[in-house]
Structure 1
Amino acid sequence: MIQSHFEKLLGSFNKNPYTSGKERKDGLQRLKANILKNRTAIQEALFKDLGKSQFEADTNEILVVLRELNNAINNLHYWMQNKSVSTDILLFGTSSFIRFEPKSVVALISPWNYPFNLTMSPLIAAYAAGNKIMVKPSEYSPATSLVIKSIIEESFTNEEVICELGDAEFSAELCKLPFSFIFFTGGKSIAKKVLNSASANLTPCVLELGGKSPVIIDDQVNLEKVVKHIAFAKTLNAGQTCIAPDFIAIRENQIDQFILLWNKWIEDTYGSKIIESTIYSKIVNEKHYKRIENFIEGACQEGAVLPNEVSKNSTELKIGPVLLTNISWESKIMEDEIFGPILPLLTYNDEDELILKLQKYQRPLSLYIFSNRKTFIDKIILNTRSGGVTINQCLLNYVESNLPFGGDWHSGTGKYHGKYGFLEFSHQRSISRQGILPSTLELFHPPFTKFKILIKNILFKIYS
């Protein structure tokens, strides 16, 4: 079945390898109309899969997708235009340009944590670039995956986009097909399997992963303003966000105030019992619930301190936000991305010590710096690496749609959002044309006369 679907998409591409801007815009308009028509169904599915409130479903999933759609629809004409490049003086009489062409048949494999957003956003970019697309949403968010499949089938023909449902084994088989491009969002362990399968066909891949995104707090900040931004970013989707703050680097003398302000914000926002709040999400499934419990238990066995009682409900799969203090930089919980509502507070004595510690970790997807000192901010940015950086806020570099979003090395490869997604899903074909003047390249053809040798020697003097 999957092989025949791939062949159908490839056959469709070969019949019409460069769809017009109008065709692409029409498809995106249909997608937009069907998303709006199915808004309630999307909200209900996200609540069923992740316990997301209607507000979070609207703002963190549907609105993000609508922004991407509007951006593509409004700017696609400009993105598709050939881009002229300047002519090298040695090649006078020629002209060159870049043509943005579809890659062909591409695969999108999306995750469960923001299942609608992280399926539709790359789909928009891939379709805007003119590709034929096979979509595989996550089996861990089944209700949302069914809605996604329905919307895709309402919006596109099966010669444009096909949505496949299946488990991890199905994804492994999908990656063995000779796609021209694979866009994967998820965890590192699965990403390695995707790369391994794709390597057989030399299929290039974009990997949107994650990592241990640190929050660095300078000692000269207003903690009250800082904490609310961090607490929001960490409690969003119960910490199941690839750019969620993974740990805090803070001065020892700031910890007590941080905890007090954290507790106040949590209670003011979610009430005295956060796990009973209808606007606080659940953990996706029992497997991940147990994984988070194991993180907490393991950290405490190593000497971590819980400043607050852990609030949880295994029946509802809810775990309230958990602060951990007395954490070592070498603790086991500092080895892998937490991807849940746990926030370790680690201490540092000076900037140089902090930088040395951060450099030992793999490059994260985001880095958050809270400081009013330009020298402090610049020093951290200069001496660390990450997919993106947000200063004096959290999540901002993701939310800004005019910035490319993606990881660096361990946290992923490739970028998307807006025009950057269009470029990622396009082949930038270099095209040069010889004009009516004689070609300067003939100066390098045999036989190598005295005049040609003279020209060569002059060029060496110019470029040496």
Structure 2
Amino acid sequence: MTDQTPDSIAAAFAAQSAGTVARRTAFGLAERRAALVRLRDVLTRREPEIIAALAADFGKPETETLLTEILPVRQDIALALRKLGRWMRPRRVRPTLATFGTAARIRPEPRGVCLIIAPWNYPLTLALGPLVSCLAAGNSAIVKPSELTPATSGLIASIVSEAFTPDLVTVIEGGIEASQALLALPFDHIFFTGSPEVGKIVMAAAARNLSSVTLELGGKSPTVVGPGADVRQAAAWIAFGKFANAGQTCIAPDHVYVHEDVREAFLDALRARIAKAYGQGPSPHLSHIVNDRHAGRLRGLLADAQARGAQIVLGGEGEGRYMPPTLVEAITPEMRLDQEEIFGPVLPVIPYADLDRVIARINERPKPLALYVFDKDSAFSDRIIAATSSGGVGVNLTLLHYTHHGLPFGGVNTSGIGAAHGEFGFRAFSHERAILANRFSGLTMIFPPYTARVKGLARLARRMLG
């Protein structure tokens, strides 16, 4: 659905709301599985179109599209198809002393009508991945893809309309006006992926309707290379994590603290890895920046840093929407490069001697979505993990924790609220309803009137239970 007038958006919401009660009983395990299979089959059939759309929006290499856009959604679907019966099953809970004689269970139930607002950096997987969790939990959804990736946005709308009826899933395209109209509606749950600044706007809008939220945000994810690191391994993983999608990844390493004892070896290894992965000149293996405005922002960060004394040791501004892998040294706190989330293929390399100062610097900033540590000594990484806070942690790797569906993916405070992926995503879109049934509870003995006998039983209960 592409019509984005407030009336048509309200009508789409109303159509889904009208089926909320019926879906509680009619959209069970078999129906949810069937919906996921339809989505999987449409994705498989239209894979060449997905590759073409992301090439049009980003110049994204086909292999990168397969690995970072299509495969994660297919993994989400496959896992849900295997595990959904267990996820949906009510969980029994043992009684407490106070509730002896009762039977307790937790029943996961659909929240209702959900809104999924997807970003532009991974436009397919960050729209359809949450949709898989939403459908698995038994909800309907309105999906709002990003207007900054028009080819992919239009394709998502076409895929959804082929796989689902509008009363179950529909797509609203458009810009800020469409988002504002959607956020004015009383959704039962909102799943937003984007920047912390916009996340605050989404949360404020949700508060007006008391809608629950899952916020996947971002921040300046730090990386620490210790004196005992395997520098070649560290360089390979950091280059992969930083330059995949041209650095336009919410969990990309934003900057690297490198122990001064291994600084030169690490830089040599990083230069060699970049040369091997991307070669010289414009690389067909590197995505482009999403648009001219974001490319200009990145070049503005570089210009500001150079004016304040930073040194570019590899790469540079590039041309148009293409920016090569760029390494920068001599970073200082007053530079915008040190203050803003970079979200591009520019990597500050910051030498250090005192790990405590690095930890203090990490803790001075808002809590990041990811933290990466490289060292052969587990005590080194354990020390950093214990002394800091972040959404997730990678030790001697980058990005890979995102793909582990047994782990919750999400941020903390500024980097996000709630978790996604696998069962965690199912639970994000579910209301865990507490049910307690009386079997032979004896608590009627302390109901009013409060006679001397009841008072005595109450005092006994306090000693036993409190």
TM-score normalised by L of structure 1: 0.96
For 2:123, what is the secondary structure of its paired residue?
Answer: coil
Out of 172, 178, 202, the residue aligned to residue 186 of structure 2 is 178
Determine the structure 2 residue equivalent to 1:12. 19
Shift of 1:192: 1.8
Distance 2:214 2:164 in 1: 24
Determine the structure 1 residue equivalent to 2:5. none
Distance 1:151 1:128 in 2: 18
Determine the structure 2 residue equivalent to 1:444. 446
Out of 43, 47, 59, the residue aligned to residue 55 of structure 2 is 47
Shift of 1:155: 0.7
- Quick check: 1:140 aligned with 2:148? yes
Determine the structure 2 residue equivalent to 1:281. 287
Alignment map for 1:19-418 (pairs within 5 Å):
19-273=27-281, 275=282, 277-310=283-316, 312-314=318-320, 317-418=321-422
Shift of 1:457: 2.1
Aligned residues: 458
Distance 2:20 2:244 in 1: 40
Residues 181 and 204, structure 1, Cα contact 8 Å, conserved in 2: yes
One-letter amino acid of the structure 2 residue matched with residue 335 of structure 1: Q
Distance 2:245 2:376 in 1: 29
Shift of 1:447: 1.5
Percent identical among aligned pairs is 37
Distance 1:351 1:16 in 2: 54
For 2:48, what is the secondary structure of its paired residue?
Answer: helix
Distance 2:149 2:269 in 1: 34
Distance 1:311 1:287 in 2: 14
Distance 2:173 2:357 in 1: 48
Distance 1:330 1:348 in 2: 18
Shift of 1:400: 1.0
Shift of 1:463: 4.7
For 2:228, what is the secondary structure of its paired residue?
Answer: coil
For 2:314, what is the secondary structure of its paired residue?
Answer: coil
Shift of 1:252: 2.6
One-letter amino acid of the structure 2 residue matched with residue 114 of structure 1: Y
Residues 282 and 319, structure 1, Cα contact 8 Å, conserved in 2: yes
Distance 1:452 1:301 in 2: 80
Residues 109 and 119, structure 1, Cα contact 8 Å, conserved in 2: yes
Determine the structure 2 residue equivalent to 1:460. 462
Distance 1:41 1:235 in 2: 24
Shift of 1:243: 0.4
For 2:211, what is the secondary structure of its paired residue?
Answer: coil
One-letter amino acid of the structure 1 residue matched with residue 450 of structure 2: F
Distance 2:39 2:134 in 1: 13
Residues 304 and 335, structure 2, Cα contact 8 Å, conserved in 1: no
One-letter amino acid of the structure 1 residue matched with residue 192 of structure 2: F
CA-to-aligned-CA distance 1:100-137 (integer Å, 9 cap, x gap): 11001000000111111101100000001000110000
Distance 2:380 2:198 in 1: 37
For 2:313, what is the secondary structure of its paired residue?
Answer: coil
Distance 1:408 1:39 in 2: 34
Residues 172 and 193, structure 1, Cα contact 8 Å, conserved in 2: no
One-letter amino acid of the structure 2 residue matched with residue 29 of structure 1: V
Distance 2:260 2:334 in 1: 17
Residues 218 and 416, structure 2, Cα contact 8 Å, conserved in 1: yes
Residues 333 and 339, structure 2, Cα contact 8 Å, conserved in 1: no
Shift of 1:444: 3.1
Distance 1:7 1:292 in 2: 42
One-letter amino acid of the structure 2 residue matched with residue 279 of structure 1: H
Distance 1:231 1:189 in 2: 27
CA-to-aligned-CA distance 1:241-293 (integer Å, 9 cap, x gap): 000000001123432222221111111111122x2x21210000001000000
Distance 1:357 1:49 in 2: 36
Distance 2:124 2:76 in 1: 13
For 2:159, what is the secondary structure of its paired residue?
Answer: helix
For 1:241, what is the secondary structure of its paired residue?
Answer: coil
Residues 314 and 325, structure 2, Cα contact 8 Å, conserved in 1: no
One-letter amino acid of the structure 2 residue matched with residue 57 of structure 1: T
Distance 2:453 2:97 in 1: 19
Distance 1:161 1:355 in 2: 45
Distance 1:429 1:189 in 2: 32
Residues 109 and 184, structure 1, Cα contact 8 Å, conserved in 2: yes
For 2:412, what is the secondary structure of its paired residue?
Answer: coil
Out of 397, 421, 425, the residue aligned to residue 421 of structure 1 is 425
Q: Give the stretch that moved more between structures: 440-449 or 350-359.
A: 440-449
Distance 1:344 1:449 in 2: 74
Shift of 1:168: 1.6
Residues 446 and 457, structure 2, Cα contact 8 Å, conserved in 1: no
One-letter amino acid of the structure 2 residue matched with residue 167 of structure 1: G
CA-to-aligned-CA distance 1:305-340 (integer Å, 9 cap, x gap): 1112415111xx100111111112453322221100
For 1:158, what is the secondary structure of its paired residue?
Answer: coil
For 2:24, what is the secondary structure of its paired residue?
Answer: coil
Shift of 1:15: 3.0
Q: RMSD between aligned alpha carbons?
A: 1.3
Runs of 4+ in structure 1 off by over 3 angstroms are none
